[in-house]
Amino acid sequence: MSPARVARQARERGLDLIAVCDHNSAENAEATARAGRKVGLAVIGGMEITSREEVHVLGLFREPGLLGAAQQAVHDHLPGENDPDVFGEQLVMDEDDRVIGRQDKLLIGATDLALADVVRTVHALGGIAIASHVDRPSYSILSQLGFIPAGLGLDGVEIRDRRPDGLPDALPVVSSSDAHRLKEIGRRRTSFYVEGPTAEEIALALKGAGGRRVLTG
């Protein structure tokens, strides 16, 4: 799952736009965006942030500076150090898949941020907050809490396979592959009817603004 390989696989699967959301890290997002530009793929930078309740939330951001600020905010609340012998090395790469660094934070762990604080942090930096894979039996808002709290302020929810019972009708739904391996890229996808492949346009589509819309499939 290195930047150039991800970009090539996404284009080969017929995708025009992907979001890179590594666990509690954004360090490979911009390299993937540069790799994407080489093959005609648009890439939105993001993170999959783990709240202290062990709920995964996707944060999508407009520009690298805001994404970097989001990562710093998350890392300020992320305890633990990675053990490469147990979890593997956490590599930082460039757009040509060369290793340029390593991350020592325990990215697989949970932050000490409450779910509401995660959503507020994403919004404070102009990002989009989407509850991850709500149909999964673990690390989802429904598996961990059993419900979606009123007033949480999510911009949408993500499903991998099927829409679970109990989702508010007014909450926008996207479908994605939640890919952790190259072969999984593109197994689920969403069509966005927008003016361009940007985070700003995705946000407007989730709101149904100006004729923009979202079609899951």
Q: What region does 40 belong to: left with phi over 0, alpha with psi -120 to 50, or beta?
A: left
Phi-psi region of 135 (alpha: psi -120 to 50; beta: other; left: phi over 0): alpha
Which amino acid is residue 210, in one-letter code?
Answer: G
69-128 residue pLDDT tens: 999 999 999 999 999 999 999 999 999 999 999 999 999 999 999 999 999 999 999 999
Residues 197-211 have pLDDT tens digits of 999 999 999 999 999
Averaged pLDDT for residues 41-56: 98
DSSP code for 155: S
Do the beta carbons of residue 166 and residue 189 sit within 8 Å?
no
Q: What's the mean pLDDT when you consider all of the chain?
A: 96
Query: What CA–CA distance (Å, rounded) separates 211 from 209?
Result: 6
Domain that holds residue 202: 3-216
Looking at residue 170, its pLDDT comes to 87
Round to whole Å and give the CA distance between 116 and 210. 29
Confidence of residue 168 (pLDDT cuts 50, 70, 90): confident
The predicted structure's pLDDT at residue 21: 97
State the pLDDT at residue 165.
85
Average pLDDT over residues 133-161: 95
pLDDT over threshold 90, residue 217:
no
pLDDT at 169: 84
CATH number at 12 reads 3.20.20
Compute the average pLDDT of residues 7-14: 97
- How many residues are present in the chain? 217
Counting the structural domains of the chain, the total is: 1
**7: how many CB neighbours lie within 10 A of its CB?**
27
Distance CA 26, CA 134 (A): 22
Give the list of residues 6+ apart from residue 181 with CB closer than 8 angstroms, or none.
1
